[in-house]
């Protein structure tokens, strides 16, 4: 990596939780507060849908199951 370029990742406190790390990254990238809130909402929904399992334990099939549930049960339109 070119040392003259800024680091694409903000410094994270030791032991920072997933959603805290996510918020820091979103803020570092200068996304709007509403975007941050929306992203956090959907990640929380995904985690709850899978019984509070850590997203690091989940893969593509779990994402597909969540998206299928959103479309079928919650009637969320695909973007």
pLDDT digits (tens, 9 = 90+) for 53-72: 999 999 999 999 999 999 99
Q: 31 lies in which domain range?
A: 18-72
Q: How many domains does the chain have?
A: 1
CA distance 69 to 11: 35
pLDDT (0 to 100) of residue 16: 81
pLDDT digits (tens, 9 = 90+) for 4-58: 666 667 677 777 899 999 999 999 999 999 999 999 999 999 999 999 999 999 9
CA distance 42 to 45: 5
CATH code assigned at 28 = 1.10.150.130
Residue 8 lies in a domain: no
CA distance 4 to 14: 26
Its pTM stands at 0.77
């Amino acid at each position: 990596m070119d040392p003259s370029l800024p680091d694409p990742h903000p410094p994270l406190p030791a032991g920072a939780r997933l959603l805290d790390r996510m918020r820091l990254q979103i803020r570092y990238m200068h996304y709007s507060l509403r975007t941050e809130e929306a992203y956090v909402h959907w990640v929380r929904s995904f985690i709850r849908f899978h019984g509070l399992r850590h997203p690091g334990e989940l893969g593509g099939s779990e994402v597909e199951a969540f998206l299928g549930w959103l479309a079928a049960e919650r009637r969320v339109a695909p973007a």
